[in-house]
Structure 1
Amino acid sequence: MIFRTLVPALSLLAGGLAIPASAQVPLQTALDKAFAKAAAGVGDPGAQAVAVKDGKVIWSAKSGRAINEPSAPVTGSTLFSLGSFGKTILAAYALRLTEKKVLALDTPISVYVGKKVAGSQVVTLRMLLTHTSGYPDMYADPKTAPLFEGGKKYDPNRPYTFAMLAPGIRKPVNPGKRYEYSNTGFIVLAHVLSKVSGGGEALERDLRRFLRGAGTSAGHLTAERSGRAFSRFAHGYTVGDGGALTDFSTAHGAKAIPTDLYGLPFGDGMFAGTATGGARFLDALFVDKRLLRAATVKTMTTPSPQSRAADGTYGMATERTKVGKRTWQGHGGAYGGFTSMGATDRARGVTLMVVTNRMGAADVAGTIWTKLAQAYASATP
């Protein structure tokens, strides 16, 4: 799934104290105004936004249409594809399995998947999580590119399997040597997790349990495509020449949720959800720390040596962005007409999450996120 990095100019809550009651109204007003102005500036997409502090939703908003034709408004329960934001979720689950000794960070993945996967005797879980595996881009490979939008074999109603994608998974180049963002690596990661879980259905079941531990229900965060999800799902829109919108969900004849939008085998963009679901997950991971041990969270958020060598801050499916004297931890995503952006100020216990059903030259969710962050900072001590 296509990835968008954290937006570079972020600014958020200034101060770690609880927000006094007297500041509530000005804060809500500032965020409401910023959200409305930012959404209008990027073409009024369907959007949800939420701010969570220490486990509590302190502000939320929604606007625009979930579906343009026939018109349907965005509601608080509308589901959006989260794209690469889901890498953080899948990585956290994988790290939970390392805590349980089911997986090991530095063991070749052939122990879990056998030797048929290219590079499996050399690539490790740590390499997959840190984008240092060296796998070439599967989506650009001649054997698999035709299976996706724009390709001659694209069918949004046909379920994808790992076996269909495996021919595009080629021998990794210099595994472990350098940081290079790899969607292919996370498809391999999902295969590893499926194998150790006992199959795809077992993995989906285990993920449901994991997400419940984050305080999120399947109604707000899910890796499963279903009729119930379809009834609440937004359509994703891509912006073309002259501003024309293409509906990703109908342009190719999809009869339900396009099967490449999320779910297995797409570990690179496996989840769909609401802004509330994404924010609650980040809060549980980085603020409450009830999903992983503190030492594991530290490992996850520490930039890899390879990323630092490239002047980056990427750890394990999450990156660090410093704005002024504040540091944020999170991830963005974009695929199939959807964009997402979520990040946490861990020092102050604040998380901000935005999801939209618009994808163009600009990072739509990231743009709205930035404006909200600026408004938040200006409205708080």
Structure 2
Amino acid sequence: MPETRRRIVQLALLAGLVPIRTALAGSRRSLADEADALVRPYARAGLFSGAVIVARDGVVLFRQAYGAANREWDVANTPDTRFRIASLSKQFTAAAILKLQEAGQTGLDDPVSRHMPGLPAGWAPITVRMLLDHRSGLPNVTALADYDSTIARVARQPMEVVGRLFGEALLFPAGSAQEYSNTGYILLGAVIERLTGESFAEALHGLVLGPAGLSRTGDADPERIVPRRAVGYHRVAGQWRNATPVTAAAALGAGGLVSTVDDLAAWDRAMLGGRVLGPAAMAELVKDEGYGYGLGLYLGLAYGARLWSHGGFLHGFSAIKDTYPDLGLTIVVLGNTETTPAQTLSRRLGALVLGQPEATGIVVPPNVLERYAGSYRTGRRSILRLTRAGDGLVAQGTDLPRLVLAPESDRVFVGGDGTRIALDIEPDGRATGLLLDAPGQTRAGPRIDSRTARRISTRRLARAIQP
């Protein structure tokens, strides 16, 4: 479709001047082609493996899958593949609590200790609402040094996980500030189990998944057989590795679900259509108390429209769901690699659909950029050096000219010529390698110390000056 016509269609859709199905009839194929052209370079570079959907008012504008669901068997992802959705699970947990409130089994302002006896006395002021909007002051259990090595692998009960913090002081008096905490949502999962007498997965199905008509969303327990489940991957020193599984109890209400792009788009339709929560509960879900967060959802603006959003990241998986409630627009990106720049892809797709300049809003903290600075071996005699430069990085390689890189996620950076670099990250934040996708070349390699880098450079120079 010519650009002028496409822009007229987009403006008409935004203004509600034409029926959505009529307006999209001539533009859907073109939009799908443009969306695929936007996403495919990330897949070609090895940064993205997963599935994407863009839907508006129940009409699918773009739906595509990329990469491998299982690298060992060379099984491709499809739009029906089930991915761990990590912290996207929180909005389902919040909706389940609101359903229990509608049924009179709890109140948002109830002390959590009313439903969970045996909590530390210092937690007495914490309410259900404070767990939902991250104002509880509970430290984040996933930040504990042994979460990845021990807790995530062996925990059998949610309170076994939460109990690891019983001896810790609150980060601040309950209700006085806000700090994101997975602990609160793991505890909420335990509350749901206690109030319903069912497992978290069973309760969630009865309270919200069933009413919403979601048949492919459910328990991500790695011990269960889940049809069409993708394997999660991370990178170590330039090589793909199977990500460590996380037990059901170690994530539960904070990140314990698998889903598909279709189910997540259907979830938005069910929520916006009032098929899950009543008006009062729905208003609670998206009420901003001044922190840009509702109950399991970030609340803000993008491209001049209201945006309800949440991202997720967990051991080999990266995800995001962006909902533009006033436009009926849902964009979902589910990836089974930790390198997936989910937010960048989603916001770039939003700009494409709405005909707006791209604004991804990615900012990487200076201390993270400093951790990435160093030397990386990208070939037998090739070195790539990264240095921090303002809010981004500068790359300089033996086979790569000096290039300024801007962040596309907390571990993926892009240059003006389309070169992309993804960092391999250990759980403690150390960079151990990188993946380089530059025009005409794709390479990967480990991080090396300065002595090794000098030795390689010296050998390269010596070869270059040999008669």
- Which residue, 108, 133, 138 being the options, matches 1:135? 138
Aligned partner letter, 1:331? H
In structure 1, C-alpha distance between the alignment counterparts of 2:325 and 2:159, rounded to whole Å: 40
In structure 2, C-alpha distance between the alignment counterparts of 1:128 and 1:135, rounded to whole Å: 8
**Is the strand fraction higher in 1 or 2?**
2
Shift of residue 56, structure 1, vs aligned partner: 4.4
Match status 1:238 vs 2:247: no
- The answer to whether the Cα contact below 8 Å between 2:193 and 2:203 also exists between their aligned partners in 1 is no
Match status 1:225 vs 2:204: no
Shift of residue 63, structure 1, vs aligned partner: 1.5
Structure 1 residues 149-160: aligned runs within 5 Å = 149=148, 151=149, 153=150, 156=153, 158=154, 160=156
Point out the more displaced range, 43-52 or 78-87.
43-52
Q: Tell me the equivalent position of 1:336.
A: 315
- The answer to whether the Cα contact below 8 Å between 1:80 and 1:273 also exists between their aligned partners in 2 is yes
Point out the more displaced range, 222-231 or 327-336.
222-231
Identity %: 25
Shift of residue 259, structure 1, vs aligned partner: 3.9
Q: Tell me the equivalent position of 2:445.
A: none
Q: TM-score, normalised by structure 2?
A: 0.67
Shift of residue 199, structure 1, vs aligned partner: 4.1
- The answer to whether the Cα contact below 8 Å between 1:343 and 1:351 also exists between their aligned partners in 2 is yes
SS at match of 2:355: helix
In structure 1, C-alpha distance between the alignment counterparts of 2:180 and 2:195, rounded to whole Å: 24
Match status 1:271 vs 2:257: yes
Q: Tell me the equivalent position of 1:176.
A: 175
- The answer to whether the Cα contact below 8 Å between 1:15 and 1:348 also exists between their aligned partners in 2 is no
Aligned partner letter, 2:191? V
Shift of residue 378, structure 1, vs aligned partner: 2.9
Match status 1:283 vs 2:272: no
Structure 1 residues 90-109: aligned runs within 5 Å = 90-109=93-112
SS at match of 1:328: strand
Q: 1:199 to 1:168 in 2, by over 3 A?
A: same
Q: Tell me the equivalent position of 1:38.
A: 39
Match status 1:300 vs 2:285: yes
Q: Tell me the equivalent position of 1:191.
A: 190
Aligned partner letter, 2:346? W
In structure 1, C-alpha distance between the alignment counterparts of 2:298 and 2:151, rounded to whole Å: 32
Q: 1:138 to 1:378 in 2, by over 3 A?
A: same
Q: TM-score, normalised by structure 1?
A: 0.81
- Which residue, 339, 346, 358 being the options, matches 1:369? 346
SS at match of 1:268: helix
Q: 1:159 to 1:110 in 2, by over 3 A?
A: closer
Q: Tell me the equivalent position of 1:87.
A: 90
Shift of residue 325, structure 1, vs aligned partner: 2.2
In structure 2, C-alpha distance between the alignment counterparts of 1:335 and 1:248, rounded to whole Å: 9
Q: Tell me the equivalent position of 2:14.
A: 14
SS at match of 2:276: coil
Q: 1:181 to 1:163 in 2, by over 3 A?
A: closer
Aligned partner letter, 1:269? G
For residues 219-274 of structure 1, the C-alpha deviation after alignment (integer angstroms, 9 at most, x for no partner) is x21125377743421111224444x322215xxxxxxxx343x5675221021111
Shift of residue 347, structure 1, vs aligned partner: 1.1
- Which residue, 201, 210, 215 being the options, matches 1:204? 201
SS at match of 2:342: helix
Shift of residue 370, structure 1, vs aligned partner: 1.9
In structure 2, C-alpha distance between the alignment counterparts of 1:25 and 1:119, rounded to whole Å: 61
In structure 2, C-alpha distance between the alignment counterparts of 1:103 and 1:62, rounded to whole Å: 41
- The answer to whether the Cα contact below 8 Å between 2:135 and 2:179 also exists between their aligned partners in 1 is yes
Aligned partner letter, 2:104? K
SS at match of 2:270: helix
Shift of residue 371, structure 1, vs aligned partner: 2.3
For residues 270-315 of structure 1, the C-alpha deviation after alignment (integer angstroms, 9 at most, x for no partner) is 2111111112112211x2122111222122112114x1xxxxx111
Q: Tell me the equivalent position of 1:255.
A: none
Q: Tell me the equivalent position of 2:413.
A: none
> Which structure ranks higher in relative contact order (CA pairs < 8 Å, sequence separation ≥ 6)?
1
Q: Tell me the equivalent position of 1:358.
A: 337
Q: 1:140 to 1:326 in 2, by over 3 A?
A: closer
- The answer to whether the Cα contact below 8 Å between 2:162 and 2:183 also exists between their aligned partners in 1 is no
For residues 315-374 of structure 1, the C-alpha deviation after alignment (integer angstroms, 9 at most, x for no partner) is 1111122123211112111111111111211112221111111213xx522222122212
- Which residue, 328, 333, 351 being the options, matches 1:349? 328
Shift of residue 120, structure 1, vs aligned partner: 4.0
SS at match of 2:69: strand
In structure 1, C-alpha distance between the alignment counterparts of 2:204 and 2:198, rounded to whole Å: 12
Query: RMSD value over aligned CA atoms?
Result: 2.6
- The answer to whether the Cα contact below 8 Å between 2:155 and 2:161 also exists between their aligned partners in 1 is no
Match status 1:162 vs 2:158: yes
In structure 2, C-alpha distance between the alignment counterparts of 1:264 and 1:280, rounded to whole Å: 27
In structure 2, C-alpha distance between the alignment counterparts of 1:227 and 1:166, rounded to whole Å: 21
- The answer to whether the Cα contact below 8 Å between 1:31 and 1:376 also exists between their aligned partners in 2 is no
Q: Tell me the equivalent position of 2:412.
A: none
- The answer to whether the Cα contact below 8 Å between 1:358 and 1:364 also exists between their aligned partners in 2 is no
